[in-house]
Structure 1
Amino acid sequence: MKENLNNISVYVKAKRKQNKLTQPELALKAGVGLRFVRDLEQGKNTLRMDKVNDVLRLFGEELGVVQMNREKLLK
């Protein structure tokens, strides 16, 4: 689970920088708190999905179900 959050955190940070936004600007535009943006970019593993989607929507994305290899999980 942590790996997926890290991927989201890397994505959000890269998109924020690509769009020349500061963390406070991103928080304001997404309607979330600055602390939330910092936690998201640091890969905190307990974040509200609705707030993550608020941030991701700025970049045309949202969280969704991803099919996993069940055999890989059982090893």
Structure 2
Amino acid sequence: MFDEPLFRYMVNRRQLSLADVADRMGVNEATLYRKMKGKSDFTRAEIQNLKNILDMSNDESLKVFFAEKLT
């Protein structure tokens, strides 16, 4: 499960907008929003690219892209 609040924190931490992130990924902003909302999945290449763009550690990227939902 994708942790959207943590992802947005990572984006803000780098002083970027979601439009900036989408541009650096080479995708439309609407595409990024769809992926964030779970309407389509991030590819491995996109996850690696985002990890680099946002300067995430391995632990941070696991928390963002593979978060477990607690019930």
Quote the residue 1:60 is aligned against. 55
The structure with the larger Rg is 1
Partner amino acid, structure 2, of 1:41 = M
Quote the residue 1:11 is aligned against. 6
Quote the residue 1:41 is aligned against. 36
Count of residue pairs brought into register by the alignment: 59
Q: TM-score, normalised by structure 2?
A: 0.54
Partner amino acid, structure 1, of 2:15 = K
Gaps of 5+ in 1: 65-75
Gaps of 5+ in 2: 63-71
Partner amino acid, structure 2, of 1:14 = Y
Deviations 1:40-69 (A, max 9, x none): 4334462212112211211223556xxxxx
Higher relative contact order (CA 8 A, sep 6+): 2
Q: Superposition RMSD on alpha carbons, in Å?
A: 2.6
